[in-house]
Structures are given as structure tokens and as C-alpha cells.
């Protein structure tokens, strides 16, 4: 959204987790800006976007934990277990592409949804990262446009260089958000389409 959790971090963004090129048409069309910084302990990934879609639709896609592996390419599985009316345990397995080979890695997150204020708060429960906290805030910009602000703070494993983590997480965020925005547009064009489009 991590080896295990570095991959999942921006997704709990995510979740759903959180990548591709910042110059992609989907990101550019939605005025999406992805940035990453790091200090001695943490990597911080921020995403701001203006999305041409109603808030309820964006909320539904970004919090569709059970189906996100259908449209986020770097997820091989995602499952949510309810812990309460607005609280979930999200378990995900992601694919980390290392060029000549790929690695499947898993992580668990506690997720709290605040549908009144359109906010999602996530925290790493288990995984390879030392810690991860993520917040997603949606704000309506009219009937058919939504502002999105995502903020993730990750403490990678001690053995993983922070500068590498910063680059990896930014690229993962770009790709994940591109996939999520693609799914928003797919559902916008065909409201009756099934939530899961993966064969």
C-alpha cells in the first residue's frame, strides 16, 4: 500500500493497498500527485488527487477490500473480516516484482471506516515492516468530483535502506492508485457491472 509490508503499505491505503509511472494518463487526468520522503526511521508517502467521480463511488472502490485483488495488479489476494460495524481485519498477499523473479508477501491490517466523515484509518498488525499507519480522506468537490488525500507513514525493516524504501513505496503507490482509479472509471461507465472483474 514492504517486503511483505512494504508491498502492502500503500494498499491499506490502503489499501486497498500502495505503482506505475506518474506520467500515466489516468494519474494525470485526475490531477494526482504522489510524493515520498524519508528520515532515519520512516518513509512517508502522500497522495493527493481530484477524481472525476462521485464521492460514494470512490469510497466504495477504495474500501472494497474483498475485491481489490481483482483490480489492483500487485495484489494476489485480499480478504476482510468484520470486527465491528466499522472495523475490519484486512489480510492481503501482494506480489513484489524484483525483475528476474517475483515474491509473494502477506500482511494484516486493522482498518477503521468513518463513513460520516469519509475517512479510512489503517494500521499494520503483522508483516515485515516494523510499523505502518495510513489515513485516507475523501472530500466532495460537487456532485461528480472528489478530492482524495492519502497519508502513509512506514517504518521499514532495519535491514532495508530507507532511500530504497522511499523509491519502492512511491512507485508502488503510483501503480496502486492508477489501478484504483481505473476501477472507479470502470464502475462509473457501467454501474451495473460486477464489482470483481478478474476472470
Which H or E run contains 104? strand 102-114
10-residue mean pLDDT profile of the chain (199 residues): values are 40 36 42 85 91 96 94 91 96 71 75 97 88 96 95 83 77 89 94 70
Kindly report the CATH number that applies to the domain delimited by 4-189. 3.30.530.20
Residues 6+ apart with CB under 8 A from 23: none
Q: Can you give the pTM of this predicted structure?
A: 0.80
Which H or E run contains 153? strand 146-155
What pLDDT shows up at residue 57? 96
Give Cα 56 distance to the centre of its chain: 17
Residues 6+ apart with CB under 8 A from 134: 1, 9, 10, 12, 13, 14, 15, 120, 121, 122, 123, 150, 151, 152, 153
What pLDDT shows up at residue 15? 37
What pLDDT shows up at residue 94? 78
Buried b (16+ CB within 10 A) or exposed e, 113-146: beeeebbbbbebbebbbeebbbbbebeeeeeebb
Residues 6+ apart with CB under 8 A from 180: 16, 61, 62, 71, 72
Question: Domain residue spans in the chain?
Answer: 4-189
Closest CA to 133 of 157, 118, 116, 112: 112
Distance CA 46, CA 153 (A): 9
Beta bridge partners of 79: 91
Beta bridge partners of 81: 89
Amino acid at each position: 500500500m514492504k517486503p511483505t509490508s512494504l508491498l502492502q503499505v500503500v494498499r491499506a491505503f490502503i489499501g486497498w493497498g500502495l505503482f506505475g509511472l506518474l506520467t500515466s494518463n489516468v494519474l494525470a487526468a485526475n490531477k494526482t500527485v504522489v510524493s515520498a520522503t524519508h528520515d532515519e526511521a520512516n518513509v512517508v508517502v502522500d497522495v493527493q488527487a481530484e477524481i472525476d467521480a462521485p464521492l460514494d463511488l470512490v469510497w466504495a472502490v477504495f474500501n472494497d477490500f474483498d475485491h481489490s485483488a481483482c483490480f489492483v495488479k500487485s495484489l494476489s489476494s485480499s480478504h476482510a473480516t468484520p470486527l465491528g460495524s466499522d472495523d475490519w481485519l484486512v489480510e492481503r498477499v501482494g506480489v513484489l516484482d524484483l525483475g528476474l523473479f517475483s515474491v509473494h508477501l502477506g500482511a494484516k491490517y486493522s482498518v477503521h471506516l468513518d463513513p460520516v466523515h469519509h475517512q479510512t484509518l489503517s494500521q499494520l498488525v503483522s508483516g515485515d515492516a516494523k510499523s505502518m499507519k495510513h489515513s485516507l480522506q475523501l472530500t466532495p468537490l460537487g456532485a461528480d468530483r472528489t478530492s482524495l488525500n492519502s497519508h502513509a507513514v512506514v517504518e521499514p525493516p532495519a535491514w532495508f535502506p530507507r532511500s530504497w524504501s522511499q523509491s519502492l513505496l512511491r512507485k508502488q503507490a503510483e501503480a496502486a492508485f492508477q489501478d484504483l482509479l481505473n476501477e472507479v472509471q470502470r464502475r462509473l461507465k457501467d454501474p451495473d457491472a460486477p464489482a470483481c472483474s478478474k476472470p
